[in-house]
Every structure is written in structure tokens, then in C-alpha cells.
Structure 1
Amino acid sequence: MMMTAPLTHLSHPRELVRHFTPNWFTATMGTGILALALAAFPWPLPGLMQLAEGLWWFNMALFATCTLLYAARWIFFFDSAVRILNHGVACMFFGAIPMGLITLVNGFLVFGIPHWGGAAVRIAADLWWMDAFMALACAWFVPFLMFTRQEHALENMTAVWLLPIVAAEVTAGSGGLVAPHLGATDEARGMIFFGYALWATSVLPAMGILVILFLRMVLHKLPGKDMAVSSWLSLGPLGTGTLGLLTLGSAAPQVLGHSAIADAAYGFGIIGGVILWGYGLWWLVVAMLTTAVHLPTGLPFNMGWWGFTFPLGVYSVATLKLAELTGMGFYAVLGGLFVILLAGFWLLVTARTLPGIYHGYLFQAPCLSSETGLRDPDAAEAVR
């Protein structure tokens, strides 16, 4: 069979850039967390670390490509790009940029140190500080746009609201991994305390959003099938919140010495982590049930399907970290099973994404929905 030409659903190849939005960074989030989860897999398998490192390298190329394309949109199509600030859904995905970057930061520690030693640590630390300020910008300014420029209604609310908020706690959890490699330095101590501030900046507002989301589902029932996958995003702040407490708590004695503060941070990390993990389990079951309700009628594919990956991935890594710190075997078993499920989701979503990239029908910016960027109206409907 003869292969069709690429990007046939776009009226012009430049439409790929004009319609490129931050939601593509969710692919870097999902790919990066899979690499890290495979590296932490509790049952060693031949070639698994090499596969994980290969995914990390691939993810660096993917992140660089997404960055170049999105920067090009702002340079060459500024009037179109700026419209995202008024869009109540697309704007939420700004948080995906720092969250995608942090998977690369953590990868420098897991995969980079064996190759480059201290240079990999320095790269990770510098990128971490940059990521922290990006995450804070998302946490402050995207909600402010919600308050001032965008139109929102409770019945239309989904867990997508969490995306700009959660980025800061993802960065916080990474700080607990980077800091011990810096030794008992002022930078490492600052990273620990700033990490706790980032954690609070994110987890506490996210808890409020989850309460509102619960109310929305009670009053207006489950989201429609086109947004059903967004229910998995509720797992994100609880998985990353758990991981943040565990990594910061376990790093504190190494960076701060065995002081009262460090000992308290270590104990609070485990107890608090277990509590948040249990809350996350509740939302995980709700996400599974929501998906199961819509499966008989079919879930239309869109880029939101990448929501299957990162929230489950951070929850998996947090579960394996609990196994390490508590010595409880059931956490290791559950974490391993979650990683296997994550790998299955990643393969499924990647297989559905690649044709959409090749043919071009996934490049449809919601903030330009009133315009015609696609040749095929059926393809436009498929990505909504």
C-alpha cells in the first residue's frame, strides 16, 4: 500500500507551528516519567536500565523539539499565540513545560552521573533553579488569568485546573533528589527549604481544587467522554505531593545533618507521604471507574490521553519510594504493577499519537478553534 504524504490534514505545513500549543509537553512528561519509573522498577530485568536511559535521551530530543516549535509560534505567529492567555483550557497547559523539564533534571541524576559525574549534578542543579521559577510563574499567573481574563463555570470544570498548580510540587520533589548530591552546602540547604515552600505553594491550593472538583462531580456528574481522561490528573498532586515529602524528608539528614529539624523532616516525610498516598489511592479508583463508565461507548482520542501517563507515573515512583523508606513489601509489589500499567498506557497513547502527528490532525490549537487550520472537518472533530 502506498503511504500518504505527511501533514495532509493541514492546509499548509506552517499550520503545524501556528497550532502548536503547550499541551504537547505532556508527551515529554509521560515519556520522562516512564524512563524514571523503569529505572526504579523493583524487579531487575536484563536491558531495563538501558531501555530507561534510551527513553531519557529520546525525551531530551522531544523536549527540545517541542521548545523550538512553541518558541517559533510566538516569534512567527505572535497574534495567534497570545490568544492562549484568554482560553480557559489551553492556558492550563503552561504547567506542562516545567513538569516536562523536571523529568530531564531527574534523569541527569539517574542516567547522567555515571557518564559525566559532577558535571551532570551541576547541570541538574542549574536546570532545577530555572524550573523552580518557571513553576512558580505558572502557579501565580495562570490562576490570575483565570480570575481576570478567562470565562469559567463550575459545570465545565475538570482536573485540568490542577496543571499550572502542580508544577511547583513536582519541582519540590526533584529538589529532594538534587540537594544530597550538592553536599552540606548553602545551595543544598536553600534547595531543601525552598523545596518545602514550593511544595506548600502547590499542594495546598491543589487540595482546594480537588474539593471543588468533588463538588462539581456531585452536582454535574462525570465529565463527558471527550474529557474523561482528565480524571486521571487528580492523581497528580497526590502522587507528586507524596514524592515531595519523601524526597525532601530523606534528603534533610544528608544536607542539614542529624539535627532536630532534619529528624522531624524525615519522620514527617514518611507519615505525611503515607497519608497523601492513601488519598491518592481514592482518586486512582475514581479515575479507573470514570474511564470504565465511558469505555463501552468509546473514548475519542485527543492529546488529553497523555493524562494517563504522568499522574500514574509519579504515583508509581512515590509508591516505590515508600517501599524503599518503609521496607514494606506490598508497596514494592503495587509500585511494580503500577509501572507495568504505566508502560502499557505509554505504548497505547504513543501508538495513537504518531499517526496524528504524521497526518497533522492533532495540530489544532483550541484557542484558534474558530479558524480553519485543517483540511478535513472530520479530523478537526476527532481532536476536540
Structure 2
Amino acid sequence: MPNKADSQAKPGLENFSVTVFPAVLGIVGLGLAWRDAGAGFGIPGWIGEIIAGFGAGFFAAVLALYGLKIFRFPNAAVKEATSVPTASLVAAIPMNFMLVAGVIAPYVATLGEMLWWIGVIGQLAVTIHVVGYVWLNKGLGVQSITPVWLLPTVGIILAPISGSAFDYPFISWLLFGIAVFFWVALTPLLLYRLVFAEGLAPPQRPALVIILTPPSLCVAAYVHLQGGYMDPFAHMLFGVACMMALLLLTKLKEFMALPFSMAWWAFTFPLDAFARATMLYNDHLEEAASAVLALLALGVATLVVSLVFWRTVRFMFQGGLFRPPG
């Protein structure tokens, strides 16, 4: 009779990890970036709608599978939600709700608004859980700090972006303030760990690209809150995003040498967010240089998402999504 350890090592739904949800962020985020490109450059709008629609459908499938896991293996789900390495990734779930709300809002405003509220409330709940329970009560060391920590806190910045279709300016400004506070608070801690302590382990290195996400999303959120106007503060935020992108370029060779894992999806959504920020910047400047930068950022994001998606499909057909880690 097999022992308990052997049974746990077998492939199955119990091993379907929360690490799949960042894939939805990457796909839907790319679709929304193409939607922005359609508005700014006259690119056929159906491209972005197909990508975003596929991402929304993928989210529904992943959410159903993970919901089934919670029902059948609640202990495994609780372990992911309370473990330091994976708890922050739970934030990708409400982030997906907010992104999908932005996809659906132009077609079914009521449904989009409902999904937005689910995402906002869920994101706040995850933030309180991760910060109050996982971080503050664990006595963690500096080695525990990773870029993934930005998801449950700074992820709330999606609310004013996706929520721009709805009339909640007061709430959106509050959420913007929360996100900026945690971005400013966590970034020095992360830099301290990267500069003065041991670097990220190979499986964690794709997550370094997440540092591009906060300034990029802050550009989009702030401009939306300002009614589309890009003032000097928005220019400053965009400059920070460009600097993060340049710093990450110095790590390109290291990134390309990493073996594939679901952690590769950490490359995708930050590039989507940066592409959307460059679109907004070009809408304001309407210069040749800004147009080239916007199209280049969109092209890079599309290439990376396509590559990671292709590798993920292979990984999925090999049963990798249901195998235990390691």
C-alpha cells in the first residue's frame, strides 16, 4: 500500500498551483495593450479584442480548476495562501478580475462593474491578509523579500485603470494612494536585498521584471485619474518606468539562460504594462521617437507573451501543470 508521501508526489489537481494565474495577467494585459494601440495608431481593433477575449476565457477556465482544487483539496490551497513564497501570488486572482472587468466593460458595463468590485474587494482582502498575517507575524529575514511582494500591495493600482469606465473617482484615488505608498515602501527593501544580501535564486529571477510594473501602472492610473492629462508628475513616473526597463536590459543574457518554468510568466505582464504606458506617453507627445518607443514596447511584449505561451502549451500537454513542484 503506497504511503502518504508517495500519494502526494503523484500528478493531480492538488498540484494545480496559484502560479498559473499570472499567465492570465500576461495574456489579458497584452490584449489591452493592443486595444490601446488600435486607438492610438489605427491598428485593427479586433487584434486586441481577440487576445483579451481569449485571456478572459482562459481566466474562467483556470478559476474553475482552482475552485475545484479548493473544494477537493482545501488544505493544499490554504498552504499556498499562507506560505511566504506563494501567498503574494494569490493577489493575481483579484488582479485578473480587475483586468477582465476592463475587457468586458465596453460591451457589458454592468458585468464589468461587478467584476471590478469583486477584484477591488478581493485585492484589499489579499493585501490585508498577506501584510497582516504572512509578513508581520512571521519574523521574516531579508532573504524572504522578492519582487513578487509587489503583487498584493501595488496590484491595487489596477483599480483606477480598469475602473476608469465607472464613476468612482473618490475610491480610485484612495486605492491609488495605497498602491503608491506600498510601492515606495517596498522598493528600498527589495533593492537592499538585491544589493547587500544574497541574490535571487534561479527560479525567482524572472520575478525581477516585476519592478517594471509599478511605475508603468502608476503612469496609466494617474493619467486616467487626471482625465487623460499627462502633467509633469506623470512624466516623472514615466521616466522611472524607462529607467527600470533599461536596468532590466542589463539582465537580458541572464534571463535568456534560465530554464522554462511557470515563473516565466513574470516576464509578461510588466512588459504589457510598460507598453500601455508608452502608448499613453505617445498619445500626449505624438512625436516620432515616442511612437517608435511605443511600437517597440508593444512588439517586445507580444514576442515575449507568444514565446512563453508556446512553452506553456508544451508544458501543459506534458502534464506539467498537475505535477508536484521540483
Q: TM-score, normalised by structure 1?
A: 0.77
Q: Which residue in 2 is equivalent to 1:206?
A: 183
Correspondence 1:58-137 to 2 at 5 A: 58-109=54-105, 112-113=106-107, 120-137=108-125
Q: Are positions 1:289 and 2:266 aligned together?
A: no
- Give the Cα–Cα distance (whole angstroms) in 1 for the partners of residues 12 and 232 of structure 2: 47
Alignment counterpart, residue 162 of structure 2, candidates 155, 162, 174? 174
- CA RMSD between the two structures: 2.3
Q: Are positions 1:228 and 2:187 aligned together?
A: no
Q: Which residue in 2 is equivalent to 1:255?
A: none
Q: Which residue in 2 is equivalent to 1:331?
A: 290
Alignment counterpart, residue 151 of structure 2, candidates 139, 163, 168? 163
Q: Are positions 1:246 and 2:223 aligned together?
A: yes
CA deviation vs aligned residue, 1:109-131 (integer Å, no higher than 9, x gap):
4xx43xxxxxx222222222222
Greater Rg over alpha carbons, structure: 1
Q: TM-score, normalised by structure 2?
A: 0.90
Give the aligned residue type for 1:350: F
Alignment counterpart, residue 23 of structure 1, candidates 19, 31, 45? 19
- Give the Cα–Cα distance (whole angstroms) in 2 for the partners of residues 26 and 151 of structure 1: 27
Q: CA deviation at 1:25?
A: 1.1
Contact 2:213-2:273 at 8 Å conserved across structures: yes
Q: Which moved more, 1:319-328 or 1:63-72?
A: 319-328
CA deviation vs aligned residue, 1:215-256 (integer Å, no higher than 9, x gap):
1111026423322211110111111111100111116xxxxx
Q: Which residue in 2 is equivalent to 1:7?
A: none
- Give the Cα–Cα distance (whole angstroms) in 1 for the partners of residues 259 and 149 of structure 2: 21
Alignment counterpart, residue 131 of structure 2, candidates 117, 137, 143? 143
Q: Are positions 1:275 and 2:245 aligned together?
A: no
Describe the shift of the 1:294–1:80 C-alpha distance in structure 2 as closer, same or farther (beyond 3 A): closer
Correspondence 1:249-260 to 2 at 5 A: 249-250=226-227
> Which runs of no fewer than 5 residues in structure 1 stay unpaired?
1-9, 114-119, 180-187, 252-265, 365-372, 374-379
- Give the Cα–Cα distance (whole angstroms) in 2 for the partners of residues 329 and 248 of structure 1: 26
Give the aligned residue type for 1:226: P
- Give the Cα–Cα distance (whole angstroms) in 1 for the partners of residues 81 and 119 of structure 2: 21
Q: Which residue in 2 is equivalent to 1:260?
A: none
- Give the Cα–Cα distance (whole angstroms) in 2 for the partners of residues 175 and 329 of structure 1: 31
Q: CA deviation at 1:155?
A: 2.8
- Give the Cα–Cα distance (whole angstroms) in 2 for the partners of residues 168 and 145 of structure 1: 18
Q: CA deviation at 1:309?
A: 1.0
- Give the Cα–Cα distance (whole angstroms) in 1 for the partners of residues 238 and 287 of structure 2: 14
> Which runs of no fewer than 5 residues in structure 2 stay unpaired?
1-5
CA deviation vs aligned residue, 1:298-335 (integer Å, no higher than 9, x gap):
20211111111111111111221122234444333211
- Give the Cα–Cα distance (whole angstroms) in 2 for the partners of residues 360 and 285 of structure 1: 36
Give the aligned residue type for 1:193: F
Percent of aligned positions that are identical: 23
